Amino acid sequence: MTTDRGPGALTAVGFTNYAFPRQTQTTQSYSGFGSLTFHATDAFSLTGEVRYEDETQGFKQISSNLAAPTQAAIYDLSQHIRFWTPRVIAKYEANRNHQVYASFARGEKEGGFNTGLNVFANQRAFTPEKTNTFEIGSKNDFLDHRLRFNGDIYYTDWYNQQAACQNPVSAGGSSTNRTYTCNVAASHIYGLEVNADIRMLDSLSISTSFAYTHARYTSFLDASLAQTLVLAGLPAVDFNGKHLPYVPDVKFIFSPRYTVNVGDKLTLEARVDA
């Protein structure tokens, strides 16, 4: 439970007397996890996992988003969230040095409440977002474990996505920091990752990795600003097809490392990361 306390009680009268916004958030959560692995042969195995989450959230707030404190709104909200998140992994090990695998996983992030004072009543709560991810990969050791090479490809369908929406100051005005979380987005993400660790000498090794990620919104229309934009003669803010923030298309890492033993109990390491 988190509480933002003022000097008075969480009531309209208390708000009028002290004019200080207060809020209380509560979360009661139960969860369970189970995993089962079936070895069909010495080389092939199938693993199933499942997690269950049951969560009740509560939110109370005295809102100052009104002209007169005596008309303060009291929000007393709750929502009950429950979901299953399974994962299935098929794995084939040709030997101790070579492995291929395929997996499917469903993920879910719980919803919550927007606690900012400058949002409307119907924007107070947001619901869980969900993902379905498919992955195929391989892990390999070569040259008596001096060379390790791993790679995978993946695809993620991300829907009911929690995104940042904004409310305008007023009709015909401009957008401000009245940001709130809303479930208006969906995305498709796919790509590949490869990495290699090379031990050239006992003291010298090199780690490298390369990743390509295609992460785009398939839908994201912020209707919060629609009225303002229409009055300004501008089209709606539509992020369809745009990059997800903070996700580069290409990432490459190169890291040589040199290690030397100094005496029996001390090891020195020098490393460069590019």
DSSP 78-111: EEEEEEEEEEEEEEEEEETTEEEEEEEEEEEE--
Q: Which domain holds residue 247?
A: 128-271
Residue 223 pLDDT > 80, yes or no?
A: no
- Residue 222 inside a domain? The answer is yes
For the stretch 16-47, what's the b/e string if a residue is b when 16 or more beta carbons lie within 10 angstroms of its beta carbon?
A: eeeeebbbebeeeeeeeeeeeeeeeeeeebeb
What's the pLDDT at 121?
A: 79
The beta strand positions in 169-203, using DSSP E, are: 175-199
Residues 257-270 have pLDDT tens digits of 999 988 888 999 99
Weakest mean pLDDT among 74-88, 217-231, 242-256: 217-231
Cα of first residue to Cα of last residue in the chain, in angstroms, is 43
Residue 271 pLDDT > 60, yes or no?
A: yes
For the stretch 48-75, what's the b/e string if a residue is b when 16 or more beta carbons lie within 10 angstroms of its beta carbon?
A: ebebebebebebbbbbbeeeeeeebeee
- Residue 239 inside a domain? The answer is yes
- Residue 53 inside a domain? The answer is no
| Residues 232 and 168 sit within 8 Å (Cβ to Cβ) | no
Q: Is pLDDT larger for residue 242 or for residue 221?
A: 242
Residues 99-146 have pLDDT tens digits of 999 999 999 999 999 887 677 778 889 999 999 999 999 999 999 889
How many distinct helices (H) and strands (E) make up the chain? 2, 13
What's the pLDDT at 18?
A: 45
Q: How many CA atoms lie within 13 A of 239 on its CB side?
A: 19
CA angle, corner 252, sides to 248 and 256, nearest 5? 150
- Residue 45 inside a domain? The answer is no
- Residue 32 inside a domain? The answer is no
Weakest mean pLDDT among 27-41, 44-58, 64-78, 100-114: 64-78
Residue 251 pLDDT > 80, yes or no?
A: yes
Residue 212 pLDDT > 70, yes or no?
A: yes
Total structural domains in the chain?
1
The CA radius of gyration of the chain, in Å to the nearest whole number, is 26
- Residue 63 inside a domain? The answer is no
CA distances from 271 to 48, 86, 255, 261 (A): 39, 39, 7, 15
- Residue 232 inside a domain? The answer is yes
- Residue 68 inside a domain? The answer is no
